[in-house]
Amino acid sequence: MRICLANLLMFISLYVMFPVLPLEMAGRLGVPVTQTGIMFLFFTLGMFLIGPFHAYLIDAYKRKFVCIFSLAAMMAATVGYAFVSSLTELLLLSTAQGVAFGLATTAGITLAIDVTGSTLRSAGNVSLSWITRFGMIAGVALGIWFYQTYGFRDSLYLSITVGSIGILSAWGVYVPFRAPIVTKLYSLDRFLLPRAWLPSLNLILIAFIPGLLIASVHPYLNSCILGGIGRPLPFFLGIGVGFLSSLLLFRMLRLKDKTLRTVIMGISLLVIGMVMLIPCIPMLVPAVILGLGLGLAIPEFLLIFVKLSEHCQRGTANTTHLLCCEIGFSLGMATSCVVDMDQLVLIGQLASGASLLFFLLLTYPYFLKMKIR
C-alpha cells in the first residue's frame, strides 16, 4: 500500500506540471510552443539513458534508497523549472527529470515485487500499474484546474508538496534483507522485455491517444459544465471518472477469453470517444468514454506482458509496460504542440482505429503463439 501510494503521488506530482509547462515555458522564453513541446521527447530520452543501468543500480545499492534518492532528484528538477531561462536549459532539465523518473519507477516496481507474496505478484503488478495510470490522469486534471485557478508558481508548489509526501511514503516501506546480486553494469534486465516487442508497439500507439489531449489543448476541451452554475471542469476529470468506472465494468465481465474481449472493448471505446470529440456533443461524454477505454485496455496489456515473460522477468515486464506507456504519452504530448485542434482530433481518430486493427491482426495472434503461461 505504501509503494502504491508513493507511486500514485509521484505520478500526480509529475503530471500536474506536464499540461502547463509547454505553454508557460513558451511564454517565458519567447519561443513557439512547437519548440517547448520537444521537452517531452527529451524526458523520454532520459528514461532510455538510465534504463540499461537499472538492474545494476538496484542490485548494487539498497533499492529503497535508490527509489527515495530518485524521487528527490525528480523534485529538484521540478524546482528547476522555476529558474529556466533558455530552451537548452529546459531540454537538459527535462532529460535529467526523465533519468530520475525512470530510475524511481523501476525501483518502485522492484520494491513492490519484493514485498508481495509470490502467489500475488501478478495481481500486485496490475494494481501498481493501475494506480500509476490513475495518478497520471488525476495529475493532469488537478494540474489544469490549479494552473487556471492559481497560476504557474502555485502549481509548482503543489507538485513539490505532493512529491515530497510520496518520498515520505516510500521511506516508510519495510524491505526484507536480501543478499546483493552481482549484476552487469549494462543489462536489459528490469528495462526491456524483447519477447514483448510487438505488443509494445501496440501499447505505444494506444498511449499516444490520451497523450494528444494532455498538453496545449486543454483550453479547447474544458467545456464540461458542472450542474447549472456554468463552472468549467477539466476534461481529464471526466476521463478520471471513466477510468475509475472501468474497475466496476471489468468486474462485471464474465468472459471465457477475457484478454481478447477486454482489450477489444477498451480500444473500441477509445475509437468511439475520439469520434465523439465534436462541438455538438458535451465534452463530458467522450471524456468518460475515453477513461473507460483506457481503464480496460492499458492494464490488460500488462497481463499480456507478464504472460510473455519468464518467472523471473515480472519486473522487466512491468518496466517495459510503463516505459511504452510513457513513450506513447510523450509522443502524443509533443504532437499536440505542433498541430491545431482539428488536426489533433483527426490524428487521434486514425490512431485509435489503427491500434484496434494492430491488436486484432498482429498483437493477439503473436501473443497466443509466444505466451509462456
The SS3 of residue 233 is strand
Model pLDDT for residues 111-162, shown as the tens digit of each residue: 887 777 766 766 777 788 888 889 998 998 888 888 888 888 999 999 999 9
Q: pLDDT at residue 257 above 80? A: no
pLDDT of residue 226: 41
Question: Comparing 92-101, 158-167, 213-222, 241-250, which segment has the lowest mean pLDDT?
Answer: 213-222
Q: Which of 202, 204, 197 is nearest to 328 (CA)?
A: 204
pLDDT of residue 83: 92
Exposed e or buried b per residue across 280-296, where buried means at least 16 C-beta atoms within 10 angstroms of its C-beta: eeebbbbbbbbbbbbbb
Tell me whether the CATH fold assigned to 1-174 matches the one assigned to 192-372.
Answer: yes
Task: Enter the C-alpha cell of residue 22.
Answer: 509547454
Top-level class of domain 192-372? mainly alpha
CA separation for the pair 195, 200 (Å, rounded): 9
- Superfamily designation of domain 1-174: MFS general substrate transporter like domains (1.20.1250.20)
pLDDT range class, residue 225, cuts 50, 70, 90: very low
What pLDDT was estimated at residue 109? Answer: 84
Answer whether residue 280 shows pLDDT above 80: no
Share of the chain above pLDDT 90, in %: 42
* Side-chain-facing half-sphere of 80: CA atoms under 13 Å: 17
Q: Which residue has the cell 523518473?
A: 101
- pLDDT tens for 192-211 read 888 889 999 999 999 999 99
Average per-residue pLDDT for the chain: 85
Partners of residue 232 on adjacent β-strands: 225
Read off the pLDDT of each residue in 244-259 and give the average, rounded to a whole number.
73
Q: Whole-prediction pTM value?
A: 0.89
| Residue ranges of domains in the chain | 1-174, 192-372
What's the mean pLDDT in 16-36? 89
Q: Cell 505553454 belongs to which residue?
A: 23
Percent of the chain with pLDDT over 70: 90
